[in-house]
Amino acid sequence: MSLTPKPSTQAGLVEWASQFPLNENIEITWGYPYHFGDFLKYHSGPALCGLSLGFKLSQCLLEHGLGTIPKTGVQIRGAFGGKGMRDAFSYLFQPDHETGFTLDPETEVSVECSKASSGIYAFEVTCPEAQFHLGIKPGVVRDEFLEAVHLRNAGKLPPADVRVLQWEMCQRVLPAPSNEICNIRTL
């Protein structure tokens, strides 16, 4: 895989990100052709990795549910609750006072999951008609990245060094099929 330089502006980043559709079949996406660029515009923050992983989890969920996942009434409980991850789910599933994302570090799922900077990428999604366990596959989030985040958080690594690794992961994750990035199981 050849890496490209990160676009220098938010508009350039959104343009680059718009090449990645959530799903080609808009019946699965409630009649709207979502792209990763839409998620970036909603998020407008620095958590590019979490947002791209949340995008892939959402993509996997929708592909696995084959058009049965509703846009409302979805509850997500997760062991990792970074802002990018939360925003990916919130953008897509329109939370209300009873639904949305709940951080629960004790969330246990029946699929293998990758380590996160704090906890693991494990999520339980409850829809009115079904329940799913989701996780980012082990190895997708590389140890080098996790080490860099911990060093940055301890003030021992400049944030710019972590941003380079975030951009690398984003470019690696977004074009991959969701089944290469995510594990899912219907309960």
Q: What is the pLDDT of residues 162-186, one digit of tens each?
A: 999 999 999 999 999 999 999 999 9
At residue 70 the predicted structure's pLDDT band, cuts being 50, 70 and 90, is very high
What's the confidence (pLDDT) of residue 2?
Answer: 67
Q: What secondary structure letter does DSSP report for 139?
A: T
Residue 98 has pLDDT above 80, yes or no: no
Report how far Cα 179 is from the mean position of its chain's Cα atoms: 13
Contact status, residue 74 vs residue 125, Cβ threshold 8 Å? yes
The C-alpha atoms of residue 43 and residue 128 are separated, in whole angstroms, by: 26
pLDDT > 90 fraction of the chain, expressed in percent and rounded: 80
- pLDDT 10s digits, 104-116: 999 999 999 999 9
Coil, strand, or helix at residue 112? coil
pLDDT confidence of residue 96:
77
